Chain A
Amino acid sequence: MQIAIASGKGGTGKTTVSVNLYYFLSQKYNNRVQLIDCDVEEPNDLLFFPQAKKEVEKKVYTTVPEIDKNKCTFCKKCVDWCEFNAISIVKKLQFAEVNYELCHSCGACFEACSFDALTPIQNPLGSISDYQTNFGAGVVEGRLEIGSAMQTALIKNVKKQADSKQHITLLDAPPGTSCPVVETVATANYVILVTEPTPFGLHDFKITVELLKEIQKPFGVIVNKAGLGNDAIYQFLEANNIPLLGKIPFSKAYAENYSRGELFEKIPAVVENAYHSIISKLASIIN
């Protein structure tokens, strides 16, 4: 089964929670747990596994058009068919060019052209790597090519690495509430929302709840950095019957561990207990 970890607001602790769940669930399910970092713009999960061994890396490309000006009649049918304004053609100047930043790689222009003037070429989208870690079934990382605006297309590709033979696949989602998040949670059986008890955290949390309700995903909540801010989040959860999976207390010492990339050493007892309780709640919900 797939469990996505999402948040709305950035910096609430998605990565920390994903990496910790990978650790504690691996103990519970005999290492049959996989983690996929779907935050392809800023993938961070592997920073916490300095000993991880990269097994495979593959480059991913999108197919975009290149215009052969010897064959192009400058008829502009491809311009008409492109919904993303990615092609410019000026007949008088014999000018024909593709703006690859705007191209969504939908393929419409190839179908539009009757003169065989478009050649498919490969535009780098990013890479997908498999890593073996000391515990668990491994971590998959998607890493967007810097300058590409096609993060959603890469996420779709990264998620194909989900291994259905594992007991659980964790999907660490990007922040926000738009298409990249929808793409990440689309196949998930359950979503864990990580929030913080601050006004910004609550505001973005509400938008994410709206989204999950619209796409009819079951979800539960982890309140991270508990102790900061106020109680408004708990009142909201109660008023809306949203299950609270657990609270992870804010600890400056743990924040320091995080800053060094060390999440599995010297875990404060309160934090470790919080995860054990979250996992038993989670197990009773997903079974």
Chain B
Amino acid sequence: MKEITILSGKGGAGKTSIAAALASLAPNAVFCDNDVDAADLHLILKPDIKETHPFDSGSLAFIHQEECTNCGICKEACRFEAIFTNNAGYPEVNPYQCEGCRLCERLCQVGAIRTTQNLNNQWFVSNTRFGTMVHAKMGPGEENSGKLVTRIREKAKELARENKAMFIINDGPPGIGCTAISSITGTSSVLLVIEPTVSGLHDAKRLVKLVNSFQVPIYAIINKHDINTEFTATVEHYLNNNNIPLIGKIPFSELFVESMLHEKSLVEYAPDHPISLNLKTIWEKISDN
């Protein structure tokens, strides 16, 4: 079983559109949306949710003012600057700054601080017309996105083993922070989607450094290659120098948005279009690899 994780560094490079296209081409695969922060793959795959699970969204400290002696120890100790003095002159926790480390609770001499664990994140197992999908929804502004990615990837692997699936396709998050790191750890390969822009290449380079530190093989697609053919050559040169196989180039096309409006992948919406044939070749290269 191969686990393919689609990443780009820069947002808007086309990860989800390509993930949806590959989903409609991959027989016997499990799909997993690792972009838990702003998940979009379900808008095309239209999952029929079979299981819903709550997930830890981090702990939060609360200072009970009536028990507080206003000694100031908690405010002093908090490394996240999450405790401020409220209008009544007492320390109060800013819930959006609190990391849930419980240090303030442990140091409070009078036990006036209590921490509660929240379950505002959710993850789901669903059926789609292409196969099983595991996905998640984070509560707005919640924490633990990295752990949530790890959890849904574990579930996707478990289901892939049960279904004897050949592939897991992960639609990854933008960036190189905690969710990207959780998406890369232990995956079979990374499919890098690059757009030929100065920012697209800059961001891809940082991502490649991160993926290399995990020693995961990478192959690349240049998306919207005709936006700047000269810069596409620069990107190809970079890939070549870094021994990253280029397995396809896709032109800019409003057909991607159009198929999205019809809640279809481009391959479903326009099966005979040259881009669909192009995507089929890309999938063959991925599955033969």
Contacts and interface: CB of A to CB of B under 8 A. Distances in A.
B177 A180 contact: yes
A215 B96 contact: yes
B209 A151 contact: no
Nearest to B173: A176
B227 A228 contact: no
A255 B224 CA distance: 11
Contacts of B257: 198, 228-229
Contacts of A198: 257, 260-261
B178 A44 contact: no
A147 B140 contact: no
B38 interface: yes
A156 interface: yes
A148 B209 CA distance: 12
B197 interface: yes
A215 B142 CA distance: 12
Contacts of A83: 59, 100-102
A177 B254 contact: no
B: interface residue count bin: 35 or more
Contacts of B254: 228
Among the interface residues B96, B141, B142, B203, which one has the most CB atoms of the partner chain A within 10 A?
Answer: B141
A147 B210 contact: yes
Contacts of A101: 181
A176 B38 CA distance: 6
Nearest to B141: A182
Contacts of A97: none
B103 A204 contact: no
A182 B145 CA distance: 14
B198 A261 contact: yes
Nearest to A109: B103
Contacts of B79: 105-107
A149 interface: yes
Interface stretch (B8-16, B124-132, B236-244, B271-279): B8-16
Contact of A199 (B77, B106, B260): B260
Interface string B40-61: 1001000000000000000100
**Band of interface residues on A:** 35 or more
A144 B177 contact: yes
Contacts of A255: 227, 252
Contacts of A178: 37, 138, 141-143, 145
A116 interface: no
A183 B202 CA distance: 24
A93 B37 CA distance: 40
A271 interface: no
A266 B216 CA distance: 42
Given A44-B199, A83-B100, A259 B228 contact: yes
A220 interface: no
Interface string B135-176: 000101111011000000000000000000000000001111
Nearest to A143: B206
Contact of A177 (B107, B138, B200, B227): B138
Interface stretch (A9-17, A27-35, A272-280): A9-17
Contacts of A111: 77, 103, 106-107
A107 B99 CA distance: 12
B11 A230 contact: no
Contacts of A156: 80-81
Nearest to B101: A106
A42 interface: yes
Contact of A47 (B198, B227, B231, B252): B198
Given A42-B203, A107-B103, 20 more contacts: A41-B174, A41-B177, A42-B175, A42-B202, A44-B202, A101-B181, A106-B79, A108-B106, A149-B178, A151-B178, A177-B38, A186-B96, A199-B40, A199-B260, A199-B261, A211-B141, A214-B141, A228-B254, A256-B228, A261-B199
Counting from the closest, the 8 A-B pairs by CB-CB distance are A11-B12, A10-B11, A106-B101, A41-B175, A211-B140, A176-B37, A149-B178, A259-B197
28 contacts: A11-B10, A11-B13, A41-B177, A42-B9, A42-B10, A42-B203, A83-B100, A83-B102, A111-B77, A146-B176, A146-B206, A147-B213, A149-B146, A149-B178, A156-B81, A176-B38, A177-B37, A177-B38, A177-B141, A178-B37, A178-B145, A180-B177, A200-B16, A200-B260, A229-B257, A230-B261, A260-B198, A260-B228
